[in-house]
Chain A
Amino acid sequence: MTRYPIARKAFWDARVTAIGGGLLSFSLALMYVLMFPWVQDAFEGIELPAIYESFGGGAGSITEPAGFLATEYFSFVPLVIIIFAVVAGTAATAGEESAGTLDLLLAQPVTRRRVVLEKAAGLTAAVSVAVVAGAPGAWIGQLIVDFDLAPWRILLAMVLTVPLVLLFLTIAMFAGATLPNRAAAVVLTTTAAVAGYVLQTLGLLVTQLEDARKLTPFYWAEASEVLVGDINPFRPLLLLVPAAAALILTLGAFERRDIASGAREVGWRRWLPRRKPAQAA
């Protein structure tokens, strides 16, 4: 007998996220580390505009390994992994429902809670692989070029990005369990992620928006501190609280809802008021 079959299947179904996202993290981390000596030489002694400095958060200049990694890698790659996670998260329930396989699954002696929790576990494993796969890429780069940053700090910075990705994963699952179709859930969650990313980025540049950054999950997941300074894992781990809340909401929503029959793709018209059909003459 296989233990946690739904979690295993969820992980298998999200293999594109794990492998695709992992390859992306790995290759970009490797590429940036290999690029670093060239960037360092090119910009050494040049006064860079504040915008370049700000992208690195508190990690310093892009002519320093930590600042460069924070600016080039951590300001961009997590957003891409989040989009992978959103696609996988909406597939968990809404995707199965659209494909018409959910009713056969839920006709088995399994609780809906177990289905959601096992799927969340499988997807968590998949997105974690995608996020953390960047560390070996950076380490290999360090073997080739001079990149003076403790490998454990690189790994920790990536591990502490996982709660950020998990938050959007669980939001995607919640959206998938409540919205009428998967496409709507993908669009809404991706929009929320991009909006948060934009606010975080603008907050680094526009003084008036500095405090507003605290509203975005990206602010709490900044890798710069971990790369250079004292490590405060509490800050990114704080994101696990809303992630858990989103998961609990998903459980509640999924528990109460009707399961659509067969394959479906319900349009937005479902939410519009019904019009009575015109009487035949």
Chain B
Amino acid sequence: MSTSAAIETRELTRTFGDVVALDRMSLRVEQGEIFGFLGPNGAGKSTTIRILLDLIRPTSGSASVLGFDCQRESMEVRSRIGYLPGDLRLYGGLTGQQTVELFASLRNGRVDDAYVRELASEMELDLGKKASTYSKGNRQKLGVLLALLGRPQVLLLDEPTSGLDPLVQRTVWDVLRREAARGATVFFSSHVMSEVEQTCERVGILREGRLVAVEPVVAMKARALRHVEVSFAGEAPPADPLVVAGAKEIRRERATLEFEITGEIDPLLKALAAYHVVDLRTEQPTLDEILLAYYRHGVTA
């Protein structure tokens, strides 16, 4: 029997008037995966998360979480989800503890108090203070704590570390990684490429409502365009045999050739073996560069 996907969307579409926020997006995220959902502002990341939570309804297509339809079986879905909104707003008049108790009550009290205390202590969050007095970092910590309250099977996090200082970011990610190690699926949207690179197994890239790529971070980087500079003992050889190897010459000096090459550089190295190479430098693109290329062109640069 096949296991249900943690998250699955089929031809998911949402329009707001003339604006297509999501355009026939089909995506499958497996259970236990840490999945990064990337895209510029307005690409449709939050729209997707809000459809999964049934806060907004799709124009067409469907979405499911752990096999439960997000619209027809929304209660089943939400009882298995922990959610951190992108623009987290808390009840300013309640203390952290009262906020926790309120949201625990909404989960029929199925909350492990010891776990809550442990999390608060780990994140150095004072639950006795009113939410209105919390700094942005502490509000976000409380948001993470609320998302984890019922030990959910799926965590939907909309830019979880946005606006946080690096120290708080690390604390938040330590907690989230531990949840993932426990078996929870973490689905998060982000602009912070370094955290995606360090955290995710796979990423999905949205551009103007369309899912333009879904692949492992490693594969995406391996497939990406890289820059290679080769220095020869004498005059640089003709470029033709190297271009055949998949490289594209972009600059030539007397003893130096620069290439752009997509994917593995093994064919280029084999072609270079025929010459006296004194130095070879290769620069792998950062994830930022890869993503910018996707955002601009929808393809790997």
Contact = CB atoms under 8 A, between A and B. Distances in A.
Q: Is the interface of B mostly helix, strand, loop or mixed?
A: loop
Contacts of A263: 87, 89
A191 interface: no
Contact of B17 (A109, A258, A274): A274
Contacts of A109: 75, 78-79, 106-108
A191 to B, nearest CB: 29
Contact of B55 (A101, A106, A274): A106
B57 interface: yes
Interface string A70-107: 00000000000000000000000000000111011111
Interface string B120-151: 00000000000000000000000100100000
Contacts of A259: 50, 55-56
Contacts of B107: 108-109
A261 B46 contact: yes
Given A103-B50, A108-B106, A262 B86 contact: yes
Given A5-B106, A109-B107, A110-B106, A258 B56 contact: yes
A18 B143 CA distance: 31
Nearest to B110: A1
Instruction: Sort chain A's interface into a size bin.
Output: 20 to 34
Contacts, number: 78
A106 B70 CA distance: 13
Interface string B90-128: 110100000001111111110000000000000000000
Interface string A258-281: 110111000000000010000000
Contacts of B101: 2, 5
A235 interface: no
Nearest to A6: B106
Nearest to B90: A101
B85 interface: yes
B81 A1 contact: no
Interface in A221-274: 258-259, 261-263, 274
A106 B75 CA distance: 10
A258 B102 contact: no
A106 B53 contact: yes
A108 B17 CA distance: 28
B18 interface: yes
Nearest to B108: A1
A109 B105 CA distance: 10
B87 A261 contact: yes
Contact of B102 (A3, A9, A111): A9
Nearest to A12: B93
Contacts of A100: 85, 87, 89
B259 interface: no
Interface in A91-135: 99-101, 103-111
B35 interface: no
Contact of A258 (B55, B81, B90): B55
A107 B105 contact: no
B91 A101 contact: yes
B105 A104 contact: no
B244 interface: no
A104 B81 CA distance: 12
Given A101-B91, A109-B106, A274-B18, A262 B56 contact: no
A211 B64 CA distance: 57
Nearest to A99: B89
A104 B146 contact: yes
B144 to A, nearest CB: 12
A104 B88 contact: yes
B198 to A, nearest CB: 27
Interface string B15-52: 00110000000000000000000000000001000100
A75 to B, nearest CB: 35
B295 interface: no
A100 B128 CA distance: 23
A122 B85 CA distance: 26
A100 B85 CA distance: 10
A111 B74 CA distance: 9
B188 interface: no
Nearest to A5: B105
A262 B55 CA distance: 12
B83 interface: yes
B87 to A, nearest CB: 3
Contacts of B85: 100, 103-104, 107, 261-262
A109 B81 CA distance: 9
A261 B104 CA distance: 23
Contact of A1 (B57, B83, B105): B105
20 contacts: A5-B101, A5-B106, A6-B106, A9-B91, A99-B89, A100-B85, A100-B89, A101-B90, A104-B85, A104-B143, A107-B55, A107-B81, A108-B103, A111-B75, A258-B55, A258-B56, A258-B57, A261-B50, A261-B85, A263-B87
